[in-house]
Structure 1
Amino acid sequence: MSDENTTIAELKQVVDRFVSEREWHTFHNPKNLAMSLSIEAAELMEHFQWLTQDEADAVIGQAENRDEIGEEIADCLAYLLSLANVMNLDLDQTLRQKMVKNAAKYPVETSRGVARPNPSGESSV
Structure 2
Amino acid sequence: MEEYKKVIEELIKFRNDRDWEQFHDSKNLALAISIEAAELNELFLWKKDNETENVKIEKLKEELADVLSFSFLLAEKHNLNIFDIVLEKIKQNAEKYPVDKAKGTAKKYNEL
TM-score (norm 2): 0.90
Aligned to 1:30: 26
Aligned to 1:43: 39
How many Å separate the matches in 1 of 2:38 and 2:15?
Answer: 22
- Structure 2, unmatched stretches of 5+, are none
Letter in 1 for 2:92: K
Partner of 1:75: helix, strand, or coil?
helix
Cα deviation per residue 1:16-62 (whole Å; 9 max; x = unaligned)? 111111111111011000000000000000110121221112x33xx
Partner of 2:47: helix, strand, or coil?
coil
How many Å separate the matches in 2 of 1:118 and 1:50?
Answer: 29
How many Å separate the matches in 2 of 1:50 and 1:77?
Answer: 24
Q: Write out the 4+ residue segments of structure 1 that deviate beyond 4 Å after TM superposition.
A: none
How many Å separate the matches in 2 of 1:110 and 1:51?
Answer: 32
How many Å separate the matches in 2 of 1:118 and 1:34?
Answer: 26
Aligned to 1:109: 100
CA contact (8 A) 1:30 1:83 kept: yes
- Structure 1 position 15 matched with structure 2 position 11: yes
Partner of 1:8: helix, strand, or coil?
helix
Once the two structures are TM-superposed, the CA of residue 7 in structure 1 deviates from its matched residue by 2.6
- Structure 1, unmatched stretches of 5+, are none
Once the two structures are TM-superposed, the CA of residue 112 in structure 1 deviates from its matched residue by 1.1
TM-score (norm 1): 0.81
Aligned to 2:52: 56
Q: Flag the structure with higher helix content.
A: 2
